[in-house]
Amino acid sequence: MEILDPSTGEPLPPDTIQRVLFLANAVHVYNIPPLPSTRGHSASAWTADPSRHIFTARLRILETSTGDDDGDDESNTDENSLKVDVVLEDPSTAALFAASPYTSPASVEPVVDSSRFFAVTVRDPRGRKAVLGIGFEERSEAFDFGVALQEARRALGWEGGRTGPGNQKVSDAKKVEDKDYSLKEGETITVNIGSKGLGSRRAHAAPPPEESSGNLQSFALPPPPGSSSSGGGSGGFSLPPPPSAEDVKRKRRSAQELGFDDGQFGEFA
């Protein structure tokens, strides 16, 4: 079966592959007024006037791929080998009514006041163009139409990094090398607030004995009171010397003179 170019009706090479991305059997076609502003097209301006309705067409989105003559070397593929067309046809005879080469996202634009209507730029074989309005009866069909156009943009290389006509190949994303941020054995994380060493990492090591003994000096107890006067030296915990025999006799005589003790049961000194 001979494959025809959907936009011109001319026969294509025999190695051409064509597939249908979307099909709707009943799409209303409108003769729309010129765009009044940069805000966008409004479907209410078409449907309010019944005379603007042209007819009900069959709509297809066709993807056409033409292979190169060599067929082996992918790098020699003609950059114009892939294209997408939005085709409006007579639902009874399949005769071509109008075709819109999908050369940019602006070729099919949604309206500002409805999700079921679109403005389509169609072209004839001579290159002349016109803007027609199309409307779907069901929102689900309009949604599927938008999804098919998104798939067409990916196939043409406008989205998703694939190679399309007139576009350079998008390089693959660089693989990010995985880094191990886990703590190694013996490592700790030190956070110094207010200094440049915030979040530094260093290996855990025990302090030398000299440094440890020096730090403990700040926790030393003060010497007991009276130790310096007893001749035991400062900074120590030595007990005072025991009283001499002469001191004991002197204290005993003083207690007996005051009448507290007769010396029989011990001393209270």
Other Cβ atoms closer than 10 A to 120: 22
Q: Residue 219: in which H helix or E strand, if any?
A: none
What does the DSSP 8-state code read for residue 171? P
Q: Is residue 60 part of a domain?
A: yes
The whole-number average pLDDT for the span 230-255 is: 60
Cα–Cα distance measured from residue 24 to residue 14, given in angstroms and rounded to the nearest whole number:
27
Task: Tell whether 50 is covered by a domain.
Answer: yes
- Cα separation, 186 vs 206, in Å, equals 10
Is 205 among the domain residues?
no
Is residue 108 included in any domain, yes or no?
yes
pLDDT tens-digit map of 155-198: 999 876 544 444 444 334 434 445 566 666 667 777 666 655 45
How do residues 47-98 score in pLDDT, each as one tens digit?
Answer: 989 999 999 999 999 999 887 544 444 444 444 589 999 999 999 998 889 9
CA 6 to chain centre: 40
On whether residue 174 sits in a domain, the answer given is: no
CATH classification at residue 64: 2.30.29.30
Please tell me whether residue 4 adopts helix, strand or coil conformation. Answer: strand
Domain assignment of residue 21, yes or no: yes
Q: Is residue 250 part of a domain?
A: no
The range of the structural domain enclosing residue 49 comes to: 16-33+42-69+79-156
What are the tens digits of pLDDT across the range 98-142? 999 999 999 999 999 999 999 999 998 788 899 999 999 999 999
- In the chain, the percentage of residues whose pLDDT exceeds 90 is 36
Check if the beta carbon of residue 102 is closer than 8 Å to that of residue 108.
yes
Distances (CA, A) of 181 to 70, 184, 189, 198: 51, 9, 11, 16
Please state the domain count of the chain.
Answer: 1
Domain-located, residue 118: yes
Q: How far is Cα 149 from Cα 144, in angstroms, rounded to an integer?
A: 9
